[in-house]
Amino acid sequence: DAGVTQSPTHLIKTRGQQVTLRCSPKSGHDTVSWYQQALGQGPQFIFQYYEEEERQRGNFPDRFSGHQFPNYSSELNVNALLLGDSALYLCASSLGAAGGLSETQYFGPGTRLLVL
């Protein structure tokens, strides 16, 4: 049973560039959430996708966007990169119960992004 996978593992970009990060959820999960984790901090919620729609969004600018595909995998896109975007980007998957609540999230290993 494959867990949450993310690619790439590491990435180096320069200011102003755009980046796309990818995530495949745990088998059987249909909900994907993205988090940003700065060094020494806890993960901060960016947004969540369910049924190919953005269901919830945290306090992040519009430069951060995402997509979910019919196979439940997801992408995180960040435009006009800033130095402060350097962080570990985590993907978490969960099972969204129809008419109920999506609960426990399982995290992938993350993508380490460095913006120079």
Partner 1 sequence: GESVGLHLPTLSVQEGDNSIINCAYSNSASDYFIWYKQESGKGPQFIIDIRSNMDKRQGQRVTVLLNKTVKHLSLQIAATQPGDSAVYFCAESLASGGSYIPTFGRGTSLIVHP
Binding pattern for the stretch 16-35 against partner 1, x by CB under 8 A and - elsewhere: ---------------x-x--
**Would you say 12 or 80 has its CB closer to partner 1?**
12
Query: How is residue 83 annotated by DSSP?
Result: G
- By beta-carbon proximity to partner 1, the closer residue of 75 and 109 is 109
Which residues ranging from 61 to 100 are in contact with partner 1 (CB under 8 A)?
A: 90, 92, 94, 96, 100
How many CB atoms within 10 Å of residue 60? 15
Residue entry with tokens 């560039």: 17
When binding is defined by CB under 8 A, the residue of 43, 64, 76, 93 that contacts partner 1 is: 43
Nearest to 43 by CA among 114, 108, 115, 116: 108
